[in-house]
Amino acid sequence: MLNRDFTTLVDALLTELGGGPALRIDCRLPWQPEAKDLVSAGLDIFDREQYMTPQTLSHWQAMAAAAKQDRIELQLISAFRSVDYQCQLVRRKALAGQTLDDIFRVSAIPGFSEHHTGCALDISCPDSEPLEESFESTHAFAWLRANASKFNFFMSYPRNNAAGIIYEPWHWACRTR
């Protein structure tokens, strides 16, 4: 359930950027609660500390180890994002000239990102540019398609998904929530 502080924060951001509460109300994604219990997952490919839920970390470590046994290197791009951080991302994109429609085809409205749960990961590999659709042509992606479900991970945004988010072959969420 949405709380008053959340809706006030998000509605203020959307209004500031030229949208308004209707964008939040019409969002096709489910509201995602912020995780409270997070643990360090170490550094991502950009040397930033990343956090996720303990259960997600356990599944991520098992999946990365299994991939490594198959000579596949899975790399972490990002994990947990707070609602506040998601607001900063959206604001930065808007200030760079992107329209809200374009932003919300790529990034979830704050409060609706799976990253808030600490159960969603953006994944890459050494032979792919991070956060690019071309990841789908890598051996790492083929390995994930064949094996991720064994570790409770699923690709959240396949082609033509009902949420209207662009195809994100790099975005995988863990079913432990």
Dist CA 132 CA 91 (whole Å): 22
State how many domains the chain has.
1
Q: Flag whether pLDDT at 48 surpasses 50.
A: yes
The mean pLDDT of 117-121, rounded to a whole number, is 98
Please, which residues have CB within 8 angstroms of residue 145's CB and are 6 or more apart in sequence? 155
The mean pLDDT of 8-18, rounded to a whole number, is 88
Question: What is the extent of the structural domain holding 163?
Answer: 4-174
What is the value of pTM for the model shown?
0.91
Dist CA 131 CA 115 (whole Å): 14
| Residue 133 belongs to domain with CATH number | 3.30.1380.10
The pLDDT confidence band at residue 3, using thresholds 50, 70 and 90, is low
3-class SS letters over 93-130? HHHCCCCHHHHHHHCCCCCCCHHHHCCEEEEECCCCCC
- 117 conformational bin, left if phi > 0, alpha if psi -120 to 50, beta if neither: alpha
The mean pLDDT of 150-162, rounded to a whole number, is 96
